[in-house]
Amino acid sequence: MGRGEGNVGKLRQEILERLKEVQDPELKMDVVSLGLIREVSVDEEGKVNIVFRPTSPLCPLAFKIALDVKDAAEKVEGVRKVNVEAVNFLWTNQLNEFLKEKG
């Protein structure tokens, strides 16, 4: 493992720890424990991609939670850009467009 790969792994862990602070307001549990974060990938330039699955296809708080996920990841030192992609949600396209506009 190269030096860059170790830094990427460490940054990914720091992001996951920060995401544990993001709660689903209805369930009062964090998004990581709920399994709503399907994937976190980080490149050596600090660009982060997060795949987020709302609690249900009709989750009324999906936009808020996705934005909270994005905001939390952006606060981690070393992160330069965050892209959050929603999956398995009725309004996936609209939510993904909303998140791109906030980036």
CATH of the domain at 50: 3.30.300.130
Residue 100, pLDDT score: 87
Q: Which residue has the tokens 């892209």?
A: 83
Domain that holds residue 22: 3-101
Residue 46, pLDDT score: 96
Mean of per-residue pLDDT scores for the chain: 93
pLDDT classification of 5: cutoffs 50, 70, 90: low
Phi, psi of 59 (to 5 degrees): -50, 120
Phi, psi of 37 (to 5 degrees): -95, 105
pLDDT at 1 over 60: no
- Report the number of distinct structural domains present in the chain: 1
Provide, rounded to the nearest whole percent, the portion of the chain with pLDDT above 90.
87
Residue 80, pLDDT score: 97
Count of other CB atoms within 10 angstroms of residue 27: 13
Q: Where are the alpha helices (DSSP H) in the chain?
A: 3-19, 62-74, 92-101
* Residue 1 Cα distances to 6, 9, 27, 80, angstroms: 7, 10, 39, 23
Residue 103, pLDDT score: 67
Q: In one letter, which amino acid is 29?
A: M
